[in-house]
Structure 1
Amino acid sequence: MSAPLVFIDGDQGTTGLQIHERLHGRSDLRLLTLPEADRKNAARRAEAINACDIAVLCLPDGPAREAAASVVNPAVRVIDASSAHRTDADWVYGLPEMSAAQSARIATAHRVTNPGCYPTGAIALLLPLVQAGLVPADHPLAIHAVSGYSGGGRARVDEHEGAGASQAPAFQVYGLGLAHKHTPEIEKHAGLTQRPFFLPAYGSFRQGIVLTIPLLLRQLPAGVTADRLHACLQQHYDGAAHVEVVSLQDAQAAQHLDPQVLNGTNQLRLSVFANPLHGQVLLSAVFDNLGKGASGAAVQNLDLMLQHAA
């Protein structure tokens, strides 16, 4: 029996290239790629996607919808790395650490939607706390995140690495219309019943994310403390290979958060910082926007699907 055939549609983009690099040299699968002349040929792409076992879509939202719609072979399974299907009930959300059952859902799914980079951190922090009743589902939440400029795709990379790189901004807050496309994804998959406030930014580093969520203990249910919030996260992610929860002692000793510390990995690092005197808590997530926030997550989901196929 031949190894499963994996087709990366859009393998010249940032995420596609990273997935290709992560899969290079593996003997348990075969990679299907199109010649450069055929990459924009709809007929050739449709032929390739229907000939593979698993297709990974690394495309803008519109083309990703078109590619998914072009699948007529019922045996073809799809991982969509775009945001086109992240709130679609017909697609399985590709964050295995959401629950004990989520990995099994991904493994057997025919349609998996890869999480967004920012939502990965926000959902990982909030979902266990909301499910445990420590943070109410309708709590007014403010989420702030700073990503490396690669999160803005090729245009942002060119801005920082091209001929005019010396003029690129050192720091840029965006999404000021408070309508970022990741917000509904966070609301749905974190189990919230009220839209969170989400404000993203880009820094002048290539990749990596620091995401933070402030909480006031007096606004949370009676008896909620930083210790309980931390214990909930620690229990939820106990045994998770790609999520680590920093101890309260190490968090207390930390002086800063480096968004680049996990670059090149598929790891997600969660922390709970606290100031008991003022009743304030800060939740944080650090990870690689091109790793656990994109290509690393896609490969993790692909491996789950391949294990089921085997």
Structure 2
Amino acid sequence: MKYKVFIDGKEGTTGLRIYDRLANRSDIELMLIPEELRKDPKERAKYINSSDITFLCLPDQAAIEAVSLVTNDNVRIIDASTAHRTDPNWAYGFPELGQDFLEKIKKSNRVAVPGCYASGFMSIVYPLVKLGIAGVDYPFSANAISGYSGAGKKAIAIYEDENRDKKYDAPRLYAMSQSHKHLKEMQAIPGLSQKPLFNPYVCPFLEGMLVTVPLYLDGLEGEYSPKAIHDLLENYYSNQDFVRVMPFDEKGTEDGFLSANHLEGKDYLEIYVSGNEERISITACLDNLGKGASGAALECMNIMLGLDSKTSLNM
């Protein structure tokens, strides 16, 4: 059996990565809309409603419009935009967070793919709250760096221009007003009482991401050492292919360094726990286009179709 798949927004970085991963699959028939009609609502509606799975790789408003075009109840939508991530009628596409997340993805016709920064943050904070290690009122914060591939076509062109302004040669802090678009889901999914403090940086490398959540141990709901928290996270994600808790080292890694592009091209996420008896850092490392976007979307598709979740992904 071949599943008909339409990618609405194939020209963007997320859509192109999904297309590349599906192009050689014998069980997938990719539906390609003519270039001159890709923004025509009537034509898009025809493709969406004749598909088994439609990926939305679009800005929020365009994604909302695309959903409004659905008239076929059997069409299953996977939305990579921000538009539906906190909508209770949509499954949140991070199955490793718990069996309830996995089951909802399996059964749903509407799945929202997590944001890239949110994926790193959620992989750390959700189990901390779920296991009772940290309360929902803990004042979480996160520092994060990302490659420029997630910044959109215009930004990518600037970064890859040999004559670019030298300011693009250094990490650049942004969303300084504490209003980043991922904050809504970062608060809602783990049920936090307030939005975390969040400082993201876009950096002059193509792909990769680090998201670090620092913790004061005396602010947690019990007495924990860094090793104890590591072991609890390791157990939480035991037997998970897409989230891997790395061996404990108080320095994080053997040499005390962790590169943000360490998992470039991969579709899984790694968690590192480090620190001392007073303060701890937990860091998620991922490819912002892998587990942070396209890889997560394809993982969800595989689950929805009852396939091996790793199919066509780089593990």
Same fold per TM (> 0.5)?
yes
Match of 2:237 in 1: 237
Cα distance between partner residues in 2 of 1:251 and 1:132: 22
Match of 2:225 in 1: 225
- 3-state SS in 2 of match to 1:253: coil
Cα distance between partner residues in 2 of 1:34 and 1:162: 30
Q: CA deviation at 1:125?
A: 0.5
- Assess if the C-alpha contact under 8 Å between 1:131 and 1:191 holds in 2: no
Aligned in 2, Cα 1:63/1:131: closer, same or farther, shift over 3 Å?
same
Cα distance between partner residues in 2 of 1:135 and 1:227: 16
Match of 2:83 in 1: 84
Cα distance between partner residues in 1 of 2:131 and 2:224: 11
Aligned residues: 305
Q: CA deviation at 1:251?
A: 2.8
Q: Which runs of 4+ in 1 moved over 4 A?
A: none
Cα distance between partner residues in 2 of 1:118 and 1:94: 14
Residues 113-150 of structure 1: CA distance to partner in whole angstroms, max 9, x if unpaired?
00000000100001111111111111001111000011
Match of 1:110 in 2: 109
Cα distance between partner residues in 2 of 1:254 and 1:94: 34
Q: CA deviation at 1:192?
A: 1.5
Match of 1:262 in 2: 263
Aligned in 2, Cα 1:254/1:108: closer, same or farther, shift over 3 Å?
farther
Residues 149-199 of structure 1: CA distance to partner in whole angstroms, max 9, x if unpaired?
112111210110136435434210001111111111011112312221111
2:290 corresponds to which letter in structure 1? Answer: G
Residues 270-302 of structure 1: CA distance to partner in whole angstroms, max 9, x if unpaired?
0110123xx110010000000000000001001
2:301 corresponds to which letter in structure 1? Answer: L
Q: Which has the higher helix share?
A: 1
Match of 2:69 in 1: 70
Q: CA deviation at 1:24?
A: 1.5
Match of 1:58 in 2: 57
Match of 1:306 in 2: 305
- Assess if the C-alpha contact under 8 Å between 1:107 and 1:304 holds in 2: yes
Match of 1:290 in 2: 289
1:185 aligns with 2:185: yes
2:220 corresponds to which letter in structure 1? Answer: L
1:176 aligns with 2:176: yes
- Assess if the C-alpha contact under 8 Å between 2:121 and 2:211 holds in 1: yes
Cα distance between partner residues in 1 of 2:14 and 2:110: 19
Give matches, 1:130-141, under 5 Å.
130-141=129-140
Cα distance between partner residues in 2 of 1:29 and 1:84: 26
- 3-state SS in 2 of match to 1:43: helix
1:298 corresponds to which letter in structure 2? Answer: A
2:252 corresponds to which letter in structure 1? Answer: A
Q: CA deviation at 1:206?
A: 0.7
**Which moves more between the two structures, 151-160 or 66-75?**
151-160
- Assess if the C-alpha contact under 8 Å between 2:133 and 2:222 holds in 1: no
Please report the TM-score for the alignment, with normalisation by the length of structure 1.
0.95
Cα distance between partner residues in 2 of 1:51 and 1:254: 53
Identity in percent? 39
**Which moves more between the two structures, 293-302 or 183-192?**
183-192
- Assess if the C-alpha contact under 8 Å between 2:225 and 2:276 holds in 1: no
**Which moves more between the two structures, 218-227 or 146-155?**
218-227
**Which moves more between the two structures, 281-290 or 192-201?**
192-201
Q: CA deviation at 1:39?
A: 0.8
Runs (5+) with no aligned partner, structure 2: 308-315
1:155 corresponds to which letter in structure 2? Answer: K
- 3-state SS in 2 of match to 1:101: helix
1:248 corresponds to which letter in structure 2? Answer: F
Q: CA deviation at 1:221?
A: 2.4
